[in-house]
Amino acid sequence: MLRITGGKIFDPANGIDGEVRELCVSDGKFAASVDGGRTIDAAGMIVFPGGVDVHTHVAGGAINFARAMTPEDHRRTQAFIRSQSRRSGLGGMAPTTFATGYLYAGMGWTTVNEAAVPVLSARHTHEELGDIPIVDKATCVLMANNEIVLDLLENGEYERAKNVVAWYIWAAKSYGVKAVNPGGVAAWKWGKDAKQLTSAIEGYSKLTPGDIVTQLAMICDDLGLPHPMHLHCNNLGAPGNISTTLDTLQHLEGHRAHIAHSQYHAYGGDDWDEMRSETVQLAEYFNTHPNITTDAGAVLFGDTVTITADGPWQHLLYKLTGRKWGNLDIENETGCGIVPYTYRPSNLVNAIQWAVGLELLLLIKNPWQVFLSTDHPNGGCFWRYPEIIQLLMCADFRNECLTKLPDKIKGRITLPELDREYTLYEIATAMSAGPARALGLHQKGNLGVGCDADIVIYEEDDDVARMFSHPRYVIKGGEIVIEDGDIRATPDGQEFIVKPSYDPGTDEFLQPLFEDCYTMAFENYPVEMERMENPDIRDCVPNS
């Protein structure tokens, strides 16, 4: 039991903007009143719901491959020393599992969504997630390059495709559907890509990326998944890709969707020399289409490692940088590429990317539609989020940073014209209440009675980055996990999964296809429920 008194409460889910109120916690949830237990005097402090990361890569085959590829970063980065109650670990570009939990909680984030899980290695992803302490977790399973699903869509078998997608979600013990470069990763197995929404995909006679976008979004809606299709558009990172992105959004045909890391999808120009920001166009689309949400995928200057299921893009990035390149192909399902990368302010393309991420956060008017993310670790590491908050809240600081960019950037970006500054209420929306709602996790990002008592308490500080990097208290499920900069407790988090309903005949349909094409026995493929640590099955509300 816990009572928090005197703090200024920022709770956008309930429209509370900086009022001094009391919060009561009982049995891990907010309560109307409480008798006994500890009281935290939060007078002069700021109280937020715990942060929610809608799009991050913290567990599974890809980030684990990135860890293997970057020992030189592990050697220089922050290290967590073991104690009787804490495991050791390393931070840096691709933190280890225990350190991931400590770092997220350490800055007040209490829920994360691992945004790219292949079904074939979902068992591995869940084992890693089980080793990430404190935070609650959700996952999205990769579907837009799965050859069985693609074959069904090509043949116009929508109903069966819907059943198969539902079957896969449950097999992977996942929470939502991720689409990465629809058709492009399947084409990459031929060394090709899929850049045009309306051209047939390599290896298919008529199926196009646009068809996949429309139908997968419809499947997610029809299955009533709490989180809509989580979409990584085609043509990521390429100059002039704004037309592909807008075309993709139109292919949603009114269905819900969450657009991942929009920063990488909002460029104009025909080549790298001509590249420019096209955030005004993209933000306008979001401002007029409330059915879609996005996360920024903002870029911060410095070292990182890029990992994505977008294999062809990673091959291009390897050719551009000449740095290490790792590639994984996941049988009939998906693929993945890994390239370490350094974003430099002196590099025109990187400077534009830095501006584009911030522009989207500033130009999309509704903070319930655009969320804080760096597409960790692609645009920067998640533990650098407080730097983005500072850039959003302080126009002067932003302008100072702008002076360090190359002169050639003039006329290519909109950022210098923007004087909007985020309020604390808007930050609380973009880092917690908004992403929680987009994920369909209504018990998260909400300080209302009955919701999960995940709270972050900051000492008010003019140095915004310092304030958001070092919360005074972090409370997860009613338990104080961080106090005065020390980790006090490391409870296990929950894992959110869904069980959408599907035709019981789906097993019979899939089994012969498996026996022909997969290298794993059909019976061994689905993740067993017993392997899940602290699963919480959330409801689906199918369209009738």
Is there binding between residue 135 and other proteins (CB under 8 A)?
no
Is there binding between residue 94 and other proteins (CB under 8 A)?
yes
Q: Shortest distance, CB of residue 218 to other proteins, whole angstroms?
A: 25
Q: Is the dihedral of CA 97, 99, 105, 107 positive or negative?
A: negative
Q: Which of residues 419-478 bind other proteins (CB under 8 A)?
A: none
**In whole angstroms, what is the distance from residue 158 CA to residue 221 CA?**
13
Is there binding between residue 133 and other proteins (CB under 8 A)?
no
Q: Which of these ranges, 1-9, 325-333, 394-402, 428-436, lies near other proteins under the rule CB under 8 A?
A: 325-333
DSSP category for residue 431? I
The correct pick among 38, 75, 206, 408 for binding other proteins (CB under 8 A) is 75
Q: Shortest distance, CB of residue 220 to other proteins, whole angstroms?
A: 26
Q: Which of these ranges, 93-101, 137-145, 233-241, 413-421, lies near other proteins under the rule CB under 8 A?
A: 93-101
DSSP category for residue 407? G
**In whole angstroms, what is the distance from residue 334 CA to residue 310 CA?**
9
Let me know: does 199 contact 210? Beta carbons within 8 Å. no
Task: Tell me how many residues contact other proteins (CB under 8 A).
Answer: 61
Tokens of 236: 């990521």
Query: Which residue, 325 or 397, has its beta carbon nearer to other proteins?
Result: 325
Is there binding between residue 306 and other proteins (CB under 8 A)?
no
**In whole angstroms, what is the distance from residue 384 CA to residue 63 CA?**
18
Is there binding between residue 528 and other proteins (CB under 8 A)?
yes
Is there binding between residue 131 and other proteins (CB under 8 A)?
yes
User: Apex CA 477: angle with CA 469 and CA 101, to 5°?
Assistant: 45
Is there binding between residue 98 and other proteins (CB under 8 A)?
yes
Q: Which of these ranges, 28-36, 170-178, 221-229, 519-527, lies near other proteins under the rule CB under 8 A?
A: 519-527
Query: Which residue, 210 or 326, has its beta carbon nearer to other proteins?
Result: 326
The correct pick among 28, 203, 302, 491 for binding other proteins (CB under 8 A) is 203
Query: Which residue, 120 or 372, has its beta carbon nearer to other proteins?
Result: 120
Query: Which residue, 88 or 287, has its beta carbon nearer to other proteins?
Result: 88
**In whole angstroms, what is the distance from residue 104 CA to residue 101 CA?**
5
Place of tokens 């070092």: 470
Is there binding between residue 79 and other proteins (CB under 8 A)?
yes
Strand order through the sheet with 479-483: 16-20, 8-11, 45-49, 455-459, 473-476, 479-483, 486-487
Q: Which of residues 497-516 bind other proteins (CB under 8 A)?
A: 516
CA distance readout (Å), 460 to 5, 274, 424? 15, 43, 11
Q: Is the dihedral of CA 212, 218, 223, 227 positive or negative?
A: positive
Tokens of 101: 């939990």
In sequence order, what are the residues at sequence separation of 6 or more whose Cβ sits closer than 8 angstroms to the Cβ of residue 435? 52, 53, 54, 113, 295, 371, 372, 445
Is there binding between residue 64 and other proteins (CB under 8 A)?
yes
Give the HSE-up count for residue 253: Cα atoms under 13 Å, Cβ half-sphere: 12
Which DSSP string do the residues of 238-256 spell out, in sequence order? Answer: -TTTHHHHHHHHHHTTT--
Query: Which residue, 82 or 408, has its beta carbon nearer to other proteins?
Result: 82
> Cα 5 from chain centroid?
33
Q: Shortest distance, CB of residue 84 to other proteins, whole angstroms?
A: 5
Is there binding between residue 235 and other proteins (CB under 8 A)?
no
Q: Shortest distance, CB of residue 442 to other proteins, whole angstroms?
A: 31
Tokens of 69: 């590829």
Is there binding between residue 517 and other proteins (CB under 8 A)?
yes
Query: Which residue, 341 or 368, has its beta carbon nearer to other proteins?
Result: 341
**In whole angstroms, what is the distance from residue 329 CA to residue 337 CA?**
9
Is there binding between residue 74 and other proteins (CB under 8 A)?
yes
Is there binding between residue 492 and other proteins (CB under 8 A)?
no
Place of tokens 């299709």: 229
The correct pick among 5, 77, 281, 511 for binding other proteins (CB under 8 A) is 77
Q: What residue type is assigned to position 420 of the chain?
A: R
For residue 247, which of 277, 279, 222, 210 has the smallest C-alpha distance? 210
Is there binding between residue 67 and other proteins (CB under 8 A)?
yes
Q: Which of residues 326-345 bind other proteins (CB under 8 A)?
A: 327-329, 332
Is there binding between residue 78 and other proteins (CB under 8 A)?
yes
Is there binding between residue 325 and other proteins (CB under 8 A)?
yes
Chain residues in the site for other proteins (CB under 8 A):
59, 61, 64-65, 67-68, 71, 74-84, 86-90, 92, 94-98, 102, 120-121, 123-124, 127-128, 131, 147, 151, 188-191, 203, 315, 318, 325, 327-329, 332, 486-487, 516-520, 524, 528, 531
